Chain A
Amino acid sequence: MTVLRLAAATPDALLDRLDREDARTAPVGAGPTRIAVADPTDDRLALARRVVAGRKAWRGRRDLWFAPDPVPGPVAFLFPGLEADFAPQVDDVAAWLGQAAPDLDTSTLGRHGAAVIAVGRLLDAALRKLRITPVAVAGHSVGEWTAMITGGLFAPADFEAMLAATDLDALRVPGVEFAVLGCPVERAREAIAPVPDVVVSHENSTNQTVVCGPAEPVGDVVALLRAKNVICQVMPFRSGFHTPMLAPYLDQFRRTGVPSLPLHPPSVPVWSATTARPFPGDPAAARELCIRHLVEPVRFRQLVTALRATGIRSFVQMGSGQLASLVSDTLRGVDHLAVAANSDRGPGMAQLRRAAAALWVDGADPDFTAFDAPVEVAAPVRDPLADAAARHPALAELPLLMREIEEAVQAVLAAADPGAGTVSVSTTDMPWLADHCFVRQRPGWPDETDLRPVVPATTILHHMAEAAVRPGTVAVGVDDLRLHRWLVAAPATEVRVETRALGPDRVAVRLGEYAEGTVLLAPAYPAGPAPWTPSPDEHPPAITAERLYFERWMFHGPRYRGVSRTIGVGAASARAEITVPEAPGALLDNVGQVIGVWLAEWHPARSIAFPSGLRRVRFHGPQPAPGTTVACDLRITSADERRLTADAQVVVGGRTVITVEGWTDLRFDSDAQTSAIHRFPETSTLSTRHDAGWWHTADRWPTLASREFFLRKYLAAAERADYDRVPPRERRDWLVGRFAAKDAVRGALWDRGFGPLFPAEIRISDGADGLLGVEGAHGLVIPPLTVAVAAEGGVGVALVAEAEDRPAVALARVGPDGRAAAVAKAVAAIGPNSDTEVVPVDGPDRHEYAVAWTRARHTQRETAP
């Protein structure tokens, strides 16, 4: 099917275009007056001319859409519920999307519902591929669940897991029927008033109401109304949804059905047809509404009216059926477009083209080129043995036999021989590591080594388990995972993976010099323990999931951000919801992030911690699929200044799937300033500015690990090479000098109006004459500056001046000889014209220092840094 689309500045200009011989093949053109004609036959083109000449909007009859001058109208997606007829045409749409065609089985109520939802989601993907995005989503009856999924209130994987585990058919009131009545709700109420047990279940539209009740009285109502010329239809399925009659059947649903699913902030406002308002933001209220949805009438008429009142003018029916006509019946006489994205009659892609054209006519801007985009279809994997078996029935058992032999051989080899292999570690092999970088740099920073992408401990665990697992077994746990060194992915590296069988079900795995542990194997996953009850002293955490990442309490990028809701923290506990990310090992990494939630709550200035080992991890089932929402309950078993140890459970749908015991994090030395440089290096400094303009900082990283940590925040690759050339005993002072110098330069640039500057963007190098050179790195252009630095005993001082100046700075620790002696010493270092001050410096030992400085041009050399 072709759809002719033409646009012009005015209806007259559009008429001119329609009158031309080549109207059918003309380019679309531009302008606010638009027409679309499906299968533009001569008849339809003649109608098109009359429609345009009439200058009134025409929306869809006889496959023709016209709008004289549409203001682009916001779009709502409306997802259908169960209808009498259900024969959507979606195979071609699924193929176009590269997806499997949904199962359209309607043999039971539950399957029918699942099929309706699947079609709605497929069409949602199709419209989004066409760049048609809604400003609101809603649904009719079961379609409201589709709206909740596509609007982001539920994770699709959670919903699917729930649906698989739920028997919707159990949610059914025996013996009740629905009758669709072609009359307003008032007339329906009048008719059922004298009839006990019959209630209104759907206020569909101005002229359509559905009532529900036991078959016999419903039959009476239908007969009565038919006699009065009301068109009635008894629905071919029974359920009792949307009536109080369902209430006694809801216990199980409340516990394990839709209301039990984790709720997320919606990506698009999701409207409820129970209240004709958007779903409430409060999860408890939203859950309650999920219950009301099933026991109160569907108020679709009010919903459509309310949506229209917000300015939404275009309504897309996200499935086959009659929903669009309910919209048009309700909005009779009100400017609107109601169009179906699918139809029982005719190919799915053709109807999709109609819908896109209709929305285009009404001012939307679909991406029509997507219709012509090639379809990516995964080639089916062929199994030559299976093929052979299919051709030769005598060989039917061959594939099975071969598999058994293969497994036996592998088992023998595994037992006899220590295994070895390698794993390639780089951001090309593991692209998700781009979101697990210890150092933040300016976006687009060219040197990956400055970002320090590090393989998370939990990804290491994941690879170890994979290396150890043998055919016929699954990895059910890891004991004594020890992490010796950061496994850094830039530059790329190959790591040797060695496995050694310790017994039939225990394999020692060593990942180069980085990590080691013991993987436990079993034929099947053992059952997990019962989930813990939440700690009684829990309160809502100050740090929400959004704040956790936005405020960079966690350094992780999108592919490792799984904490989707922080639920509670107690004195020694934390609970959060995790939406499982795709990256390997990311689920357990997020368990570690829940430790971060606890630290951010109780120790915000000292929240930096990294795992050093896991004593015992047990898997009680396969890894939850990406997108699944899981609950994580964390118990801190010990915490002091240096380390923190925790146990954790990961629970899906009331079942414990992972238990962790003895997760140990090493805490990094930090205070408010170092915490800020960790989280926001581009706007924070490790140094403090003195009123006179010089900057000073003191070493607060007594361990080599924490020194390395802050060094990476400040020094780019070339400077790290400089650092490596400094004799080890001088490195501590060299480093504080560089930190002070970089902060002094950034401070001077911020004074001149520069925006955020990462420390690594300032390149400090040793100059020819003992002065330090200052340059912008990787494209940063800065005015000429010079900087003088002095450092002693872990304290650094730096002073920035104009390039033609000869700044100098010196410092001397106040010792037993008193302040005057220290001042004299500092002045002696740089010359008599300097200013001096004695200041306490926050250092490891909080000593006083005499600082002498001068910006004066003079010829005397200052102290070398």
Chain B
Amino acid sequence: MSTIQPQTMAPTRDAVLDDLRGMLAMVLDQYGADVVELSEITEDTLFHDDLGLESIDLVAVGALLAERYGEHVNLAAHLAELDLDEVIGMRIGLLVDFVVARTGH
């Protein structure tokens, strides 16, 4: 598993998606399979239904996001504002929205 380098510049949407692909691949990898093709993950990919991830996996994603972008990208605080249904039905695009919003100027 590679480490994720901290970033200081405000990332573009595509760059965030690309980062997320890498993070999701790492989270998915713990389930013993590394055959999800990263290009398959788009903004429309569903966290649960498509990737088979559970809300508890968001913990890992949240930690990776904070590591990459800094503690101010606080997924936990963001999720606290959502209903559980929204968390479960999480679309990757919404994660991108969140990161862009927190890292933008």
CB distance from B67 to the nearest CB of A (A): 10
Take A84-B84, A229-B76, A230-B76 as given contacts and tell me if A61 and B51 are in contact as well, using a CB distance cutoff of 8 Å. yes
Q: Smallest Cβ distance from A691 to chain B, in angstroms?
A: 74
Residues of A within 8 Å of B44, CB to CB, are none
A834 at the interface (CB under 8 A from B): no
Let me know if B56 and A322 touch, CB within 8 A. yes
- CB of B97 within 8 A of chain A? no
Interface pair B84/A85, CB less than 8 Å apart: yes
Bits for B48-76, please: 1 = Cβ < 8 Å to A, else 0. Answer: 00111111111110110010000100111
- A207 near B62 with CB under 8 A, answer no
Among B28, B66, B77, B79, which residue has its beta carbon within 8 angstroms of that of A61? Answer: B28
Q: Is the CB of A325 within 8 A of B56?
A: yes
B39 in the interface (beta carbon within 8 A): no
Minimum CB–CB distance from A369 to chain B (whole Å) comes to: 29
B52 touches A229 (CB 8 A): no
Instruction: Tell me which of A54, A60, A231 contacts B59 (CB under 8 A).
Output: A231
A416-439 interface mask toward B, CB cutoff 8 Å, 1 = contact, 0 = none? 000000000000000000000000
- Interface status of B35 (Cβ within 8 A of chain A): yes
List 8 interface pairs A-B (beta carbons < 8 Å), by A numbering: A51-B33, A58-B35, A61-B28, A226-B76, A230-B59, A231-B62, A324-B54, A333-B30
Q: Quick one: which of A630-673 are within 8 Å of B by CB?
A: none
Q: Given the complex of chains A and B, what is the CA–CA distance between A231 and B30 in angstroms?
A: 20
Listed from nearest, the 6 A-B pairs whose CB atoms lie closest are: A61-B52, A325-B54, A182-B59, A231-B76, A54-B35, A58-B33
Contact A208 B56 (CB under 8 A): yes
A59 near B: Cβ within 8 Å? Answer: yes
Q: Is A326 an interface residue (CB 8 A)?
A: yes
Residues of A near B53 (CB, < 8 A) are 61
Q: Is B34 in contact with chain A by the CB < 8 A criterion?
A: yes
Residues of B contacting A84 in the complex (Cβ-Cβ under 8 angstroms): 84
Asked if A59 and B32 make an inter-chain contact with CB atoms under 8 angstroms apart, the answer reads yes
| B79 in complex: contacting residue of A53, A58, A231, A335, CB < 8 Å | A231
Determine if A182 and B76 form an interchain contact, defined as CB atoms under 8 angstroms apart: yes
Secondary structure of the A contact surface, majority rule: mixed
Contacts of A54 in B (CB 8 A): 33-35
- State whether the Cβ of A50 lies closer than 8 Å to any Cβ in chain B: yes
CB proximity of B40 to chain A, nearest CB, Å: 9
CA–CA, A57 to B35, complex, Å?
11
Q: Which residues of A contact B28 (CB under 8 A)?
A: 61
- CB contacts under 8 Å to B, within A175-207, are 182-183, 205, 207
How far, in Å, is B79 (CB) from chain A's closest CB?
5
For A, the interface residue count at a CB cutoff of 8 angstroms equals: 37
B residues near A333, Cβ cutoff 8 Å? 30
Bound together, the chains give a CA A50 to CA B38 distance in angstroms of 13
Chain A's closest residue to B61 (CB) is A231
CA distance A713 to B78 in the complex (A): 81
Cα A225 to Cα B59 with chains together (Å)? 12
Scan residues 212-267 of chain A and give those whose CB is less than 8 A from a CB of chain B.
225-233
User: Which residues of chain B in 74-98 are interfacial with respect to chain A, using CB atoms and an 8 Å cutoff?
Assistant: 74-77, 79-80, 84
Q: Which residues of chain B are within 8 angstroms of A335 by Cβ–Cβ distance?
A: 32
A231 engages B58 (CB within 8 Å): yes
CB distance from A65 to the nearest CB of B (A): 11
Complex partner residue of A332 from B30, B33, B62, B66, CB under 8 angstroms: B30
Task: List residues of chain A with CB under 8 Å of any chain B CB.
Answer: 47, 50-51, 53-54, 56-62, 84-85, 182-183, 205, 207-208, 225-233, 322, 324-326, 328-329, 332-333, 335
Q: Which residue of B lies closest to A335 (CB)?
A: B32
Contact at B62–A229, with CB atoms within 8 Å?
yes
The minimal Cβ–Cβ distance linking B86 to chain A, given in whole angstroms, is 12
B: residues with CB less than 8 A from A are 28, 30-35, 37, 50-60, 62-63, 66, 71, 74-77, 79-80, 84
Q: Are A322 and B55 in contact (CB under 8 A)?
A: yes
Q: Which residues of chain A are within 8 angstroms of B57 by Cβ–Cβ distance?
A: 325
Q: A229-B76, A232-B80 are known contacts. Are A329 and B50 too (CB-CB below 8 A)?
A: no
Which chain B residue lies CB-closest to A84?
B84
Quick one: closest A residue to B71, CB to CB? A229
Complex CA gap A227/B34 in Å reads: 33
Contact for B63 among A62, A85, A229, A325, CB less than 8 A: A229
Measured between alpha carbons, how far is A746 from B29 in the docked complex, in Å?
A: 70
Contact present for A62 and B52 (CB under 8 Å): yes
A229 CA to B79 CA, complexed, in Å: 10
What B residues does A61 contact at CB under 8 A?
28, 31, 33, 51-53
A227 CA / B62 CA spacing, docked (Å): 12
Which residues from B are CB-within-8-Å of A205? 56
Contact of A232 among B30, B66, B76 (CB under 8 A): B76
**Residue in A closest to B89 when the chains form the complex, CB atoms:** A345
CA distance A60 to B32 in the complex (A): 11
- What residues of A have a CB within 8 angstroms of the CB of B74 in the complex? 226-227, 229
Chain B residue contacts of A326, Cβ below 8 A: 56
Least distance between A46 CB and chain B CB atoms (Å): 10
A764 to B98 Cα, complex, angstroms: 94
Q: Given the complex, which residues of B lie within 8 Å of A50, measured CB to CB?
A: 35, 37
Shortest Cβ gap from A84 to chain B (Å): 6
B31 engages A226 (CB within 8 Å):
no
Asked if A226 and B80 sit within 8 Å, CB to CB, the answer is yes
Given contacts A58-B31, A58-B35, A205-B56, 12 further A-B contacts (CB under 8 A): A56-B32, A61-B28, A207-B56, A226-B74, A226-B76, A226-B77, A226-B80, A231-B79, A233-B84, A322-B55, A325-B56, A333-B30
Among the interface residues A207, A230, A231, A335, which one has the most CB atoms of the partner chain B within 10 A?
A231
Chain A residues within an 8 Å CB radius of B52: 60-62
Asked if A329 contacts B32 (CB within 8 A), the reply is no
Kindly state the separation between the CA atoms of A228 and B57 in the bound complex, as whole angstroms: 17
Among A229, A325, A328, contact of B66 (Cβ-Cβ < 8 Å): A229
What is the chain B residue whose CB lies nearest that of A64?
Answer: B52
Residues of B contacting A60 in the complex (Cβ-Cβ under 8 angstroms): 52
Whether the pair B34, A182 counts as a contact (CB closer than 8 A) is: no
Given contacts A207-B60, A322-B55, A322-B56, contact A227 B77 (CB under 8 A): yes
Closest A residue to B53 by beta carbon equals A61
With CB as the reference atom, state the residue of chain B lying closest to A50: B35
CB-defined contacts of B60 to chain A, threshold 8 Å: 207
